[in-house]
């Protein structure tokens, strides 16, 4: 069972407030609905299609409450994925006319009927109804990727105006959604883990939210452990590299019989470095008398390196220290 499916299962089973049901149904019809004109005058139907059984049940219930005529449910096999079943909920368009007007999808004057391309502001005045609209939109045309991978949540709708209205609802909750045009559709999407988690909560998918956050925490912890391990390894490599370089320089100075000319404080550090090649600077400092801090040790070793390097360049040798 995919995470997307789990979220839909949870959302489809939520009972909406009476005021929110219009918004939720409007979103479902807008995302997954179509009008089928066939079978002669008066036979046109409003159809809502979904592959998700619980969503089909929800659409059926919501329509049944508001339409007097029979609400029919049929199933068909998906053309592309033969094992997927498509549920088709349909109702006579004439009978659904008042409902469609009520939920801001149809507008009508004396001359003609037309479909509205955006969301009626009346439907989403209240915060609870905006949440319900998002819930319906997700059930009708949303999906979310498995949180173990990259975060992605999207709503796919046909109209451009509807897509931007949907993204405005999302941003009314302080979240950031992107818009993208696909072949024949428009996509509203979220990529940010925080935003997606919040949106799950806003839609009312609290169990899914908990699961999402659990996986997210695990993932982030694993990342930070990896980072810490890499960082320590990097530091360790750096320390070893530096120690090897220092030892080479000291040995070079000895070779050139210049070591004894060094000031005593440098000599002391150099002798310790040679004796204890794998100690870090702090540990070296603690072995000195008087005890010297890490930066003091680092400064003196750097000085020794400088002297050796200067000498090398004076000698014009290309030997790499």
Give the residues lining the site for Zn ion (CB under 5 A): 17, 19-20, 126, 128-129
How far apart CA 281 and CA 29 sit, in angstroms, is 70
Strand partners, 92: 45
Q: Of 229, 146, 155, 217, which is closest to residue 186 (Cα–Cα)?
A: 155
CB of 133 to Zn ion, least distance (A): 9
Contacts of 304 (CB under 8 A, 6+ apart): 246, 249, 250, 253, 262, 266, 269, 270
Q: Of 296, 275, 274, which is closest to residue 285 (Cα–Cα)?
A: 296
The smaller minimum CB distance to Zn ion, of residues 129 and 139, is found at 129
The smaller minimum CB distance to Zn ion, of residues 18 and 290, is found at 18
CB of 48 to Zn ion, least distance (A): 21
CB of 23 to Zn ion, least distance (A): 7
Q: What is the DSSP letter of 14?
A: P
How far apart CA 258 and CA 303 sit, in angstroms, is 14
CB of 30 to Zn ion, least distance (A): 17
Helix residue spans in the chain (DSSP H): 3-12, 18-32, 53-66, 93-102, 127-141, 160-171, 193-203, 206-255, 264-275, 281-286, 294-315
Q: Are 102 and 128 in contact (CB under 8 A)?
A: no
CB of 130 to Zn ion, least distance (A): 8
Q: Is the dihedral of CA 92, 94, 97, 100 positive or negative?
A: positive
How far apart CA 297 and CA 303 sit, in angstroms, is 10
The smaller minimum CB distance to Zn ion, of residues 99 and 249, is found at 99
The smaller minimum CB distance to Zn ion, of residues 17 and 286, is found at 17
The smaller minimum CB distance to Zn ion, of residues 104 and 193, is found at 104
CB of 134 to Zn ion, least distance (A): 12
The smaller minimum CB distance to Zn ion, of residues 100 and 134, is found at 134
The smaller minimum CB distance to Zn ion, of residues 21 and 92, is found at 21
CB of 58 to Zn ion, least distance (A): 16
Strand partners, 72: 90
The smaller minimum CB distance to Zn ion, of residues 17 and 34, is found at 17
Residue 48 DSSP SS3:
strand
CB of 22 to Zn ion, least distance (A): 8
């Amino acid at each position: 069972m995919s995470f997307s499916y789990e979220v839909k299962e949870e959302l489809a089973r939520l009972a909406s407030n009476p005021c929110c049901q219009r918004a939720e149904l409007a979103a479902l019809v807008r995302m997954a609905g179509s009008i089928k004109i066939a079978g002669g005058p008066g036979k046109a139907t409003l159809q809502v299609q979904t592959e998700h059984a619980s969503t089909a049940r929800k659409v059926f219930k919501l329509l049944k409450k508001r339409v007097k005529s029979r609400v029919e449910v049929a199933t068909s096999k998906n053309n592309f994925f033969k094992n997927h079943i498509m549920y088709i909920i349909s109702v006579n368009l004439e009978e659904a006319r008042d409902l469609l007007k009520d939920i801001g999808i149809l507008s009508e004057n004396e001359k003609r009927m037309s479909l509205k391309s955006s969301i009626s502001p009346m439907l989403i005045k209240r915060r609870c109804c905006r949440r319900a609209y998002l819930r319906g939109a997700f059930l009708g045309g949303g999906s979310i990727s498995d949180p173990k991978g990259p975060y992605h949540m999207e709503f796919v709708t046909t109209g451009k105006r509807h897509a931007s209205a949907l993204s405005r609802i999302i941003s009314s909750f302080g979240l950031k959604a992107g818009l993208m045009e696909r072949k024949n559709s428009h996509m509203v999407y979220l990529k940010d883990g925080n935003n997606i988690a919040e949106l799950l909560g806003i839609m009312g998918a609290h169990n899914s939210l908990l699961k999402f956050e659990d996986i997210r925490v695990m993932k982030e912890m694993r990342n930070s452990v990896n980072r810490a391990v890499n960082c320590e390894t990097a530091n360790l490599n750096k320390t070893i590299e530096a120690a090897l370089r220092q030892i080479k320089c000291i040995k070079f100075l000895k070779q050139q019989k210049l070591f004894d000319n060094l000031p005593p404080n440098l000599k002391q550090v150099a002798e310790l470095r040679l004796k204890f090649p794998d100690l870090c600077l702090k540990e070296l400092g603690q072995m000195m008398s008087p005890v010297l801090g890490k930066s003091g040790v680092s400064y003196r070793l750097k000085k020794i390196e400088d002297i050796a390097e200067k000498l090398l360049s004076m000698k014009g040798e290309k030997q790499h220290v």
